[in-house]
Copies of this chain bind each other. A is one copy, B any other.
Amino acid sequence: MILALAGGVGGARLARGLAAVLPPEQLSIVVNTGDDFEHLGFLICPDLDTVCYTLAGVNNLAQGWGLAGESWAFMDAIGKLGGETWFNLGDRDLATHSIRRTMLGRHSLSEITAHLAGKFGIAHPIAPMSDDPVRSIVDTDEGELAFQHYFVRRRAEPRFRSIRFDGAEAASPSPALIAALDDPALEAIILCPSNPVLSIAPILALPGIRARLDARRVPIVAVSPFIGGRAVKGPAAKIMEEIGIATTAAGLISYYGGLLDGLVIDRGDAGESVAGVALHPTDTLMRGSEDQTRLAGEVLAFARSLR
Q: Which residues of A contact B (CB under 8 A)?
A: 40-42, 70-71, 73-74, 76-78, 80-83, 90-102, 116, 119-120
A62 to B25 Cα, complex, angstroms: 52
Closest partner residue, chain B, to A79 (CB atom): B95
Q: Are B74 and A98 in contact (CB under 8 A)?
A: yes
Other than A80-B119, A81-B99, give 7 A-B pairs with Cβ distance below 8 A: A71-B71, A77-B95, A77-B96, A80-B95, A81-B96, A83-B99, A91-B91
Q: Are B101 and A73 in contact (CB under 8 A)?
A: no
Other-chain residue from B70, B78, B98 in contact with A40 (beta carbon distance below 8 A): B98
**What residues of B have a CB within 8 angstroms of the CB of A93 in the complex?**
77
A-B contact pairs, 29 of them (CB 8 A): A40-B98, A40-B101, A41-B97, A41-B99, A41-B101, A41-B102, A42-B98, A71-B71, A73-B73, A73-B90, A74-B91, A74-B94, A74-B95, A74-B98, A77-B91, A77-B94, A77-B96, A78-B95, A78-B99, A80-B95, A80-B119, A81-B95, A81-B96, A81-B116, A81-B120, A83-B95, A83-B102, A91-B91, A91-B94
**What residues of B have a CB within 8 angstroms of the CB of A100 in the complex?**
41
**What residues of B have a CB within 8 angstroms of the CB of A71 in the complex?**
71, 73, 91
A46 to B155 Cα, complex, angstroms: 38
A42 to B98 Cα, complex, angstroms: 8
Q: Are B73 and A92 in contact (CB under 8 A)?
A: yes
Sorted nearest first, the 9 A-B pairs with minimum C-beta distance are A41-B101, A77-B95, A73-B91, A77-B92, A91-B91, A81-B119, A78-B95, A40-B98, A71-B73
**What residues of B have a CB within 8 angstroms of the CB of A70 in the complex?**
73
**What residues of B have a CB within 8 angstroms of the CB of A96 in the complex?**
77, 81
Closest partner residue, chain B, to A119 (CB atom): B81
- Which of A73, A96, A99, A116 gathers most chain B CB within 10 Å? A73
- Which of A71, A95, A99, A101 gathers most chain B CB within 10 Å? A95
Closest partner residue, chain B, to A93 (CB atom): B77
**What residues of B have a CB within 8 angstroms of the CB of A91 in the complex?**
71, 73-74, 77, 91, 94
Q: A41-B101, A102-B40 are in contact. Are A119 and B82 (CB under 8 A)?
A: yes
**What residues of B have a CB within 8 angstroms of the CB of A119 in the complex?**
80-82
